[in-house]
């Protein structure tokens, strides 16, 4: 089993710019995977400069402080603009967000509408809908945030979102090419290493890891950089527009440095082009990922996320980049 618990921690950057951040040294590594889903291919070598990253996803407690300090109102707490959603049913043009709903039995796994529901009243304070609450969940990742909300928090905190390459470099924890953030064995010595789905998705979760929905940050072991929840629990926003890598992108003899992925227009889902909603890359998988349906709690895994929509399994963490000259 490949493991590395902290031996790659940098010593040259000893003072984090914000509490709870971890220094990730600049590195050249292999981005992506050729073993699993097509959108992860091809594997290509890239280099990123050193940066600071939150040890864990932003929590409900941390986001609450931001809202208390600024009075910020999230996208899910405001009615959508009808002009952006031509043909949308009027009952959907109300404040709300997307909530996972466990089904009563097996369903067609090709149609995610079988388990995702637009839910009026769902927002970061009520992530499962108006009858839910985050009471007692202060240390769970905050969810139900659109990209605008995440960027507002980052601006307030003096941080940014990571690129896909930065996020994946951090998630790998120094284990270049490993399948998981902790090595190549999914359940070393029979232990759950992340909050994921066990059983038959989306109707049966055996709860072997102790959780059905989100879990408190740090409920599972850290990776080699000491980072928590880089696999499972919640997907995490990145700053890259979602496009599929092309083989031509890796034909150069030079290793790309600090790559930024995709273009805004190219990220729009061609199957829903009438809505014209761009998409960003999210990384890390979530508590809804299962090997039989979404084997994506791996550092190479990636998925598109509409920038206008929060979901009950998507969160984020922040970074601070190294400035030119090696100082912060």
Domain boundary assignment for the chain:
21-321
SS3 86: coil
Q: What is the largest CA-CA distance in the chain?
A: 58
CATH class of the 21-321 domain in this structure: alpha beta
Q: How far apart are CA 7 and CA 3, in angstroms?
A: 10
pLDDT in tens, the chain (328 residues): 343 433 334 334 678 999 999 999 999 999 999 999 999 999 999 999 999 999 999 999 999 999 999 999 999 999 988 887 887 888 778 999 999 999 999 999 999 999 999 999 999 999 999 999 999 999 999 999 999 999 999 999 999 999 999 999 999 999 999 999 999 999 999 999 999 999 999 999 999 999 999 999 999 999 999 999 999 999 999 999 999 876 655 555 688 999 988 898 999 988 876 778 999 999 999 999 999 899 999 999 999 999 999 999 999 999 999 764 444 4
319-321 β-sheet, strand order: 21-24, 51-54, 319-321
- The conformational region for residue 288 under phi > 0 = left, psi -120 to 50 = alpha, else beta, is alpha
Q: Residue 198 has which token pair?
A: 């066990």
Q: Output the pTM of the full model.
A: 0.91
């Amino acid at each position: 089993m490949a493991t590395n618990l902290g031996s790659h921690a940098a010593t040259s950057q000893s003072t984090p710019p914000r509490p709870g951040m971890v220094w990730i040294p600049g590195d050249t590594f292999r981005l992506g995977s050729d073993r699993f889903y097509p959108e992860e291919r091809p594997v290509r070598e890239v280099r990123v400069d050193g940066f600071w990253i939150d040890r864990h996803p932003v929590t409900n407690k941390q986001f609450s402080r931001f809202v208390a300090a600024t009075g910020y109102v999230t996208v899910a707490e405001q009615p959508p603009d009808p002009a952006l959603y031509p043909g949308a049913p009027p009952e959907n043009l109300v404040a709300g967000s997307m909530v996972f709903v466990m089904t009563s039995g097996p369903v067609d796994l090709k149609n995610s509408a079988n388990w995702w529901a637009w839910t009026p009243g769902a927002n970061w304070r009520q992530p499962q809908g108006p009858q839910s609450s985050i009471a007692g969940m202060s240390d769970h990742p905050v969810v139900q945030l659109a990209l605008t909300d995440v960027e507002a928090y980052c601006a307030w905190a003096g941080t940014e979102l990571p690129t896909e390459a930065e996020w994946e470099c951090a998630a790998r924890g120094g284990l270049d090419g490993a399948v998981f953030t902790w090595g190549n064995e999914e359940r070393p010595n029979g232990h759950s290493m992340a909050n994921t789905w066990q059983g038959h998705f989306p109707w049966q979760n055996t709860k072997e890891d102790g959780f059905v929905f989100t879990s408190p940050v740090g409920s599972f072991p850290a990776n080699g950089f000491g980072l928590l929840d880089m696999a499972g629990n919640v997907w995490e926003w990145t700053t890259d527009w979602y496009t599929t890598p092309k083989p031509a992108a890796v034909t150069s003899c030079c290793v790309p440095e600090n790559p930024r992925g995709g273009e805004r227009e190219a990220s729009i889902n061609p199957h829903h082009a009438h809505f014209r909603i761009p998409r960003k890359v999210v990384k890390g998988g979530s508590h809804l990922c299962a090997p039989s349906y979404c084997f994506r709690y791996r550092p190479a895994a990636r998925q598109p996320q509409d920038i206008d929509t929060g979901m009950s399994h998507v969160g984020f963490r922040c970074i601070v980049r190294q400035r030119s000259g090696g100082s912060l």
